[in-house]
Amino acid sequence: MIWLGIGLFFGVHVMPSIPNVRDGLIERMGAARYKIFYSLVSLSGMALIVNGYTRIDYHMLWPTPVWASHLALTVMPVVFILWAAAHMKGHIRKKLKHPMMIGFLMWSLVHLLNNGDRASLYLFGSFAVYCVFSIISSTRRGKLPDYVVQSAKHDVRAVIAGLVLFGGVLWGHGFLFGVAPTF
C-alpha cells in the first residue's frame, strides 16, 4: 500500500519535469482540470502513504543516536523558515533557489535519523530521493526564482511565520503524528 502511494504521489510530482507529458495533459484537460487531477492524485497518494506507513510491521534497521532528537529540534525551525520563505519573494528564496525542497530534504534526513525502522526508511527516504531529483531537475530546466528583492521584510516574515509554524507543530506533534518530540 505504501509503495502504491509513493508511486502516485511522487509520480504526479515528477510530471512537471517532463514538459511533453504535463503540457499534453494541460492541452487535453485544460489548466483547471489538470490542477484538480494533480491535486486529487497527490492527495490519494498521500492517503495511501499514510495508510501504508501505519500498517507496516515495525522492523528496526538502525538504532536512533542519542543526539538525534536534539539535532531535529535544532534543524526543524530552519526547515519551517525555508518552507515559509519558498512562498515569499525575499533574499532567502532568491539565494537558495529551492528553499522548499532543501527544507523537505532536511526534514526527511532528520526524521530518517530519528526513526530507524523500515516504514520510516520508505517514507522519509522516498522524500529525500525526490528532493534531490527535484532540485537537480528544476535547476537543469532553469526553474529558478526570477524577481528583484524589494526589501528584507519578506525574509523577516518568513522567519516569523516559520517559527510560529514550528511552535505549533512542536506543540501538536504528539496529537498529529502519535509521537511527541523528546528534548
- pLDDT tens-digit map of 162-173: 999 999 999 998
Same domain, 124 and 173: yes
Residue 183's pLDDT band, with cuts at 50, 70 and 90, is: low
Q: How many domains does the chain have?
A: 2
Range of the domain at 51: 1-55
Cβ proximity of 17 and 142 under 8 Å: no
Same domain, 142 and 83: yes
Which amino acid is residue 156, in one-letter code? Answer: V
Q: What is the pLDDT of residues 51-65, one digit of tens each?
A: 999 999 999 999 999
Question: Alpha carbon of 104 to those of 61, 84, 92, 158, 179: distances in Å?
Answer: 22, 12, 15, 16, 19
Same domain, 85 and 37: no
Same domain, 149 and 117: yes
Q: Is 85 exposed, middle or buried (0-12, 13-18, 19+ CB in 10 A)?
A: buried
Same domain, 70 and 160: yes
Same domain, 88 and 24: no
CA distance 173 to 166: 10
Question: 101 or 21: whose pLDDT is higher?
Answer: 101
Same domain, 146 and 63: yes
Contact partners, residue 130, CB within 8 Å, separation at least 6: 10, 13, 14
Could you tell me how far CA 11 lies from the centroid of its own chain? 15
